[in-house]
């Protein structure tokens, strides 16, 4: 067996400083390691590498690599956004009509979008990833803690992620969905719109809607991993429609609870300073109540496209009711390879990280095939159905009725179980997405351990915690938006016990990059959501 030493890629924080000489953007297939120092690697997608290079570097690369294309001269152009587009439901002509295609290969496009094109481009049914033009830095050796995927010293990282699940956040999502009247599959466009905006607000790298024939759309959010493979990912999800038709039903437990778990998992990963190897998808299905139409549309397309769901798909439906005590039932299917093993793993994670032992593995029950995991089973994907009981008698008695309300005795009466289920989902995703230690110091020669965490604790107050910075050391703090524009900067803020509290002026809600630089040249960076 060959032994491969894979390069570890770390992204340098901060806005790219452009050289005086204009540079070109090159696309190289199977980029050789020997050319790493020629230009700056700004994106890697499958076997394609994007490089910014001046004329001398560009000529050298073209003479020493097998497949090179100059896809943009004088890059990046001002006032233009660049994206990687993974073709989904849109045709190439549809894409070309709403942006400029710089290059394409195997259904993956590199494009640029002007401000005038932006609105129509974002309406396309595509997956997209912003190219930020931040240079990658390669390490020649893999850090010790990352060498063995099966025994990485990352239990503390998973525990940290599990601890970030917030019950108040879960309840707020449920309340918002509960307030949206008549969440039927044909008339819930407001729910679709709310979910798309919420996923963007929570920090998803990409959000797209998937047409469901005869009904409103599915919503899919994506957080890209370091591997950046469009067809290989971990996945969690749940449906957001509440009834087929008839009298309005608030649908708190069925299934705002599963939708909330999916959104909260997205928030936790997007708002952490933790890198993960595998991409994570968050599926929000419509038309479950009409016959699993939404999830069937997705699973069928995923199978046809040759997708791989790492570990298997975790489906949550009705996870907020307790009859006597909180119980999480995991329905599996023995005939689907990996399904029972997936359930066994989640049961063990619940014990390891939550000390929660009331997890029941079951199959062939009356309700075992009655939710959005079933189309994944039919498509051959491992999947688990997480629910509050193993049979009808165990479930919320007011489901599909007006009484399915948050904190109602016969509705979503156990926020604790909803929280536990979400924590199990986060632990599961973290395990199979291969999380690494939190992103810390990247550009200093110091060997000391360093790290950064940041979060808003109010409308304007940003709290930053630093590890590895000496008390009294001079620092500067900068906050940039998704386009690299500086929206806040402060030099030498007061630091108490390695913590900084900043009063940020009003900025739009969204995802920002917080960068702290010390006088000695160390740079810390993390994402924060306002």
For residue range 239-276, list pLDDT tens digits in order.
999 998 877 788 999 999 999 999 999 999 998 768 89
> Which of 455, 438, 466, 456 minimizes the C-alpha distance to 523?
466
Q: Looking at the domain assignment, is residue 442 inside a domain?
A: no
Residue-level pLDDT at 482? 56
Residue 468: per-residue pLDDT: 63
Rounded mean pLDDT, 183-192: 92
374 and 346 share a domain?
Answer: yes
Which whole number is the average pLDDT over 57-83? 89
Residue 312 belongs to some domain of the structure: yes
Greatest mean pLDDT among 357-361, 366-370, 470-474, 519-523: 357-361
Write the CATH number for 362. Answer: 3.40.630.10
Contacts 24+ apart (CB under 8 A), 36-43: 36/138, 40/16, 40/135, 40/136, 41/135, 41/136, 41/138, 42/16, 42/131, 42/132, 42/133, 42/134, 42/135, 42/136, 43/84, 43/131
And the tokens for 163?
A: 């601890």
The lowest-confidence range among 44-48, 281-285, 445-449 is: 445-449
Phi, psi of 195 (to 5 degrees): -65, -40
Residue 490 in this model has a pLDDT that exceeds 80: yes
Evaluate whether residue 328 is within a structural domain: yes
> What confidence score (pLDDT) does residue 151 get?
33
pLDDT given for residue 431 in this prediction: 93
Is 414 among the domain residues? yes
Residue 355 domain-assigned (yes or no): yes
**Res 1 pLDDT > 50:** no
Residue 144 has pLDDT above 60, yes or no: no
| 377 has a pLDDT exceeding 80 | yes
Choose the final residue of a domain: 115, 139, 163: 139
Give CA angle at 211 (207, 212), nearest 5°: 125
Range of the domain at 505: 451-529
Q: Are residue 458 and residue 424 in the same domain, yes or no?
A: no
Q: Do residues 491 and 478 touch, judged by C-beta distance below 8 A? A: no
Structure-block tokens of residue 304? 């046809």
Domain boundary among 78, 107, 139: 139
| CA atoms 192, 201, 221, 337: torsion sign | negative
Q: What pLDDT digit, counting tens, does each position of 319-357 carry?
A: 999 988 999 999 999 889 999 999 999 999 999 999 999
- Element spanning 354, H or E: helix 339-354
- What would you report as the CA-atom Rg of the chain, rounded to the nearest whole angstrom? 24
Flag whether pLDDT at 287 surpasses 60: yes
| Degrees to nearest 5, angle at CA 103 with 101 and 108 | 90
Give the pLDDT score at 9. 33
Distance CA 42, CA 28 (A): 12
409 and 511 in a single domain? The answer is no
- Give pLDDT tens digits for 395-432: 999 988 899 999 999 999 999 999 999 999 999 999 99
pLDDT-derived band of residue 16, with 50, 70 and 90 as boundaries?
very low
Verify that 166 and 200 share a domain, yes or no. yes
Q: Report the mean per-residue pLDDT for the chain.
A: 82
For residues 49 and 61, the answer to whether their CB atoms sit within 8 Å is: no
**Helix (H), strand (E), coil (C) string for 143-174:** CHHHCCCCCCCCHHHHHHHHHCCCHHHHHHHH
pLDDT of residue 105: 84
For residue 213, what pLDDT is reported? 93
pLDDT-based confidence at residue 152 (cuts at 50, 70, 90): very low
Structure tokens at 457: 């604790």
Instruction: Tell me how crowded residue 479 is: count the other CB atoms within 10 A of its CB.
Output: 21
pLDDT given at position 89 = 61
User: Is 267 found in the same domain as 125?
Assistant: no
Which pLDDT does position 245 carry in this prediction? 82
pLDDT at 440 over 60: no
pLDDT band at 512 (very low <50, low <70, confident <90, very high): confident
User: Whose CA is closest to 383, among 502, 484, 528, 235?
Assistant: 235
Question: 205: pLDDT confidence band, cut at 50, 70 and 90?
Answer: confident
Q: Find the mean pLDDT for residues 281-304.
A: 94
Q: What is the pLDDT of residue 87?
A: 59
- Would 147 be classed as within a structural domain? no
Regarding whether 487 and 383 lie in a shared domain, the answer is: no
Query: pLDDT value at position 420?
Result: 96
Output the CA torsion sign for 440, 441, 442, 448: negative
221 and 334 share one domain? yes
Q: Write the pLDDT tens digit of every residue in 81-127.
A: 898 886 556 788 989 999 999 999 877 889 999 999 988 887 777 66
Q: 324 and 272 in one domain?
A: yes
Q: What is the pLDDT of residue 481?
A: 67
The pLDDT, as a whole number, for residue 238 is 98
55-77: average pLDDT: 90
* 311, 403 contact by CB (below 8 A): no
pLDDT, residue 2, reads: 28
Roughly how many angstroms between the first and final C-alpha of the chain, as a whole number? 48
Lowest mean pLDDT, pick from 17-31, 53-67, 194-208: 17-31
Distance, CA of 412 to CA of 398 (rounded, Å): 9
In a domain, 146, yes or no: no
Q: Average pLDDT for residues 364-388, to the nearest whole number?
A: 90
CA 329 to chain centre: 25
Average pLDDT over residues 495-512: 78
Residue 257 has φ and ψ, to the nearest 5°, of -65, -45
Q: What is the CATH number of the domain that holds 488?
A: 2.60.40.1220
Q: With contact defined as beta carbons under 8 Å apart, do 477 and 514 qualify?
A: yes
Domain ends where: 104, 139, 174?
A: 139
Q: Is the pLDDT of residue 437 over 80?
A: no
Q: Provide the domain count of the chain.
A: 3
Same domain, 18 and 45: yes
């Amino acid at each position: 067996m060959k032994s491969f030493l894979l390069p570890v890629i770390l992204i340098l924080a901060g806005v790219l400083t452009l050289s005086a000489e204009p540079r070109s953007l090159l696309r190289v297939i199977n980029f050789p390691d020997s050319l790493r120092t020629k230009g700056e690697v700004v994106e890697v997608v499958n076997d394609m590498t994007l490089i910014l290079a001046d004329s001398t570097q560009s000529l050298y690369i073209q003479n020493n690599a097998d497949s090179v294309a100059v896809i943009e001269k004088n890059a990046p152009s001002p006032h233009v956004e660049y994206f990687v587009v993974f073709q989904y439901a849109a045709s190439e002509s549809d894409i070309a009509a709403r942006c400029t295609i710089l290059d394409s290969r195997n259904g993956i496009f590199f494009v640029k979008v002007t401000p005038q094109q932006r609105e129509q481009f974002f309406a396309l049914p595509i997956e997209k990833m912003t190219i930020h033009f931040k240079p990658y830095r390669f390490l020649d050796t893999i850090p010790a803690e990352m060498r063995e995927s099966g025994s990485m010293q990352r239990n503390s990282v998973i525990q940290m992620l599990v601890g970030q699940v917030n019950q108040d956040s879960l309840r707020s999502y449920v309340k918002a969905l509960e307030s949206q009247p008549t969440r039927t599959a044909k008339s819930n466009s407001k729910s679709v719109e709310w979910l798309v905006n919420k996923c963007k607000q929570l920090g998803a790298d990409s959000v797209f809607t998937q047409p469901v024939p005869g009904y409103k759309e599915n919503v899919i959010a994506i957080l890209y991993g370091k591997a950046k493979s469009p067809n290989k990912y971990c996945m969690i999800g749940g449906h957001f429609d509440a009834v087929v038709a008839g009298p309005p039903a608030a649908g708190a437990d069925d299934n705002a609870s599963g939708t909330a778990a999916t959104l909260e998992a997205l928030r936790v990963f997007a708002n952490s300073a933790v890198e993960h190897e595998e991409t994570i998808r968050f599926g929000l299905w419509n038309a479950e109540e009409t016959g699993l139409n939404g999830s069937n549309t997705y699973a069928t397309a995923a199978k046809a496209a040759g997708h791989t769901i790492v570990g298997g798909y975790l489906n949550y439906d009705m996870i907020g009711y307790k009859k006597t005590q909180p119980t999480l039932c995991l329905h599996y299917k023995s005939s689907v390879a990996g399904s029972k093993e997936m359930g066994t793993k989640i049961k063990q994670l619940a014990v390891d990280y939550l000390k929660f032992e009331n997890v029941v593995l079951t199959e062939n029950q009356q309700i075992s095939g009655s939710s959005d995991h079933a189309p994944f089973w039919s498509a051959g994907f491992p999947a688990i159905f997480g629910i509050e009981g193993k049979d009808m008698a165990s479930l919320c008695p007011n489901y599909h009725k007006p009484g399915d309300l948050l904190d109602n005795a016969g509705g979503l009466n156990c926020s604790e179980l909803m929280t536990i289920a979400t924590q199990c989902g986060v632990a599961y995703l973290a395990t199979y997405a291969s999380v690494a230690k939190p992103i810390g110091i990247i550009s200093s020669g110091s060997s000391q351990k360093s790290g950064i965490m940041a979060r808003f604790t109010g409308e304007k107050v940003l709290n930053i915690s630093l590890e590895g910075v000496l008390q009294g050391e001079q620092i500067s703090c900068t906050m940039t938006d998704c386009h690299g524009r500086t929206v806040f900067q402060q030099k030498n803020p007061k630091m108490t016990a390695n913590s900084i509290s900043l009063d940020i002026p009003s900025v739009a809600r969204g995802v920002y990059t917080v960068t702290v630089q010390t006088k000695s040249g160390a740079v810390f960076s993390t994402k924060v959501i306002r």
